[in-house]
Copies of this chain bind each other. A is one copy, B any other.
Amino acid sequence: MLTVVKIGGNVIDDPQKLADFLTDFAALEGFKILVHGGGKLATRFAERLGVPVKMHEGRRITDTETLEIITMVYGGLINKQIVAQLQARDCNALGIIGADLDLILASKRPIKNGIDYGWAGDVQRVDQLAFVRLIEAGAVPVVAPITHDGQGQLLNTNSDTIASAIASALSGHFTTRLVYCFDKKGVLTHPEDENSLLPKINRALFEQYKAQGIISAGMIPKMENAFVAAERGVEKVIVTRSDALAYLDSVDNFIGTVVEW
């Protein structure tokens, strides 16, 4: 069993939440991979360095200076701090980006409708064998959301997509589950009410909620990535709260939405 866990800014930006999460992650049984986003730290460093943050429809436009900041903050600071904290918990973490061992190859997103996202990468290939070798040798990959084009260029890549692509690629070798951790218990039919948690969701229901505006904004691409993984052979895809990882295998206390295709 392989568990691929994705965490985002709500955990990374809060040292105590992150420490608690890493304790739960270190305790997970079986093979595992952690994929992390960046949180607000890159934006804060960009501000301190006087590099303007440019966005288009919720996605960052990655110019050369922004790519440098992302590589520093995601690939360096956050990634290596997580690695050191996992090692302190006897979890044999290895911090990587997609360029390392050529693990995740991407291509620069083409300019479309006049929008140039700059050094943004779309995943082309995950090297299943290279990941399997690392994992079976006992390493726990900690993946920062940066890829490369194979020609020497680093590329900023969405971390939800990376988690989905890794889980999909490895589902051919391991029984794989993919866990998206965020700040809610799972998919809620009433965003402000944690009691409105959906235990399961499938594509038909998702399309219906999307049309009704119940699922909106940043949740839409996350769910798209979740469905892609489920459709590509990932055994179980779960959306849950970051402090619920310890209950993943609990029959009675499980929290989260299971994504079915």
The residues of A with any CB-CB pair to B shorter than 8 Å are 45, 48-50, 68, 71-77, 79-81, 83-85, 87-88, 92-97, 99-102, 133, 137, 139, 146, 148, 150-154
Contact = CB atoms under 8 A, between A and B. Distances in A.
A97 B80 contact: yes
B100 A83 contact: yes
A102 B94 CA distance: 9
A100 B137 CA distance: 14
A84 B152 contact: yes
Interface of A is mostly: helix
Contacts of A151: 88
Given A48-B49, A49-B49, A81-B71, A99 B76 contact: no
Most chain B Cβ neighbours within 10 Å, of A68, A84, A154: A84
B76 A148 contact: no
Given A92-B101, A92-B102, A154 B84 contact: yes
5 contacts: A80-B154, A87-B148, A88-B150, A92-B102, A93-B99
A38 B180 CA distance: 36
B146 A137 contact: no
B68 A80 contact: no
B139 A84 contact: no
Nearest to A148: B84
A95 B100 CA distance: 6
Most chain B Cβ neighbours within 10 Å, of A45, A96, A101, A150: A101
A81 B148 CA distance: 10
Contact of A137 (B68, B99, B137, B150): B137
B133 A137 contact: yes
Most chain B Cβ neighbours within 10 Å, of A68, A72, A97: A72
